[in-house]
Amino acid sequence: MPKITQLDRHYIGFLHKQDDEMNPGIKEMEAMILECAKLDREINYFVDVVQQVTAEVATQQPEAMFSLSAKVKEQFTERIAQLSDADLHTHQKVMAFKESVKNSFKQANQESAESMEELDEDIAVTQSQVNFTCPLTQVEMVNPVKNKKCNHHYDEAAIINLIKTKQSQKKKCRCPVVGCGNADVKDSDLIPDQMLRRRIQSYKRQNNRT
């Protein structure tokens, strides 16, 4: 049995919620498609009945042709009376319409999700702008690295240069972030932060657009 997803549940409610005033056009179109399916079904049954009765009359006396119309009407009425409108929902035209609506609904939700993702990214970028500045150079970092001991970020070139300078002076390199207690920053403590780098690049592109 196929798994019913949350999106499918939304779709079912989207089509069948009677009090949903947000989609009157969809419900009106569905009613029209159901009516077309009903007419299509009746036409097919009528053709079948005509062919069946004609074949029966052809084997009888010529006088039987005079009752052909009445027999067709009688059998057609009987067959139509046995049908259920609920079966129309499995009609090819109705199924195709529902599939089209479902695909459109999925696409709309996907586009909405992508828009929300972009919005979240923009918000994250905006909230993190303050962290884009290197505490050493006081300019926006190009190749940010993260100190795995204290979790502070620096521009790679700037912190490496500071470490080498301190080593040449036989001193330990303190973390340049004010108030940080990390008094011994080493090359091995630094790891490239590719995520932060992408956020910085995204922030730059956002500024260029504006």
Does residue 128 carry a pLDDT above 60?
Answer: no
Tell me if the pTM is above 0.75: no
Indicate the residue among 97, 127, 157 that finishes a domain: 127
Find the CATH number of the domain harbouring 196. Answer: 3.30.40.10
Q: Which range is most confident: 19-23, 39-43, 122-126?
A: 39-43
What is the pLDDT at residue 184?
Answer: 94
Indicate the residue among 70, 93, 127 that finishes a domain: 127
Does residue 156 carry a pLDDT above 90?
Answer: yes
- The answer to whether residue 85 is domain-embedded is yes
204 in the same domain as 185: yes
Q: Find the range with the poorest average confidence among 31-45, 49-63, 122-136.
A: 122-136
Does residue 132 carry a pLDDT above 70?
Answer: yes
199 in the same domain as 110: no
Indicate the residue among 127, 144, 175 that finishes a domain: 127
What is the pLDDT at residue 117?
Answer: 64
Per the CB < 8 A criterion, the answer to whether 175 and 185 are in contact is yes
Tell me the one-letter amino acid at 190: L
List the one residue out of 195, 194, 196, 191 whose CA is nearest residue 132. 196
CA–CA distance from 198 to each of 151, 170, 193, 194 (Å)? 18, 36, 9, 6
What is the pLDDT at residue 1?
Answer: 42
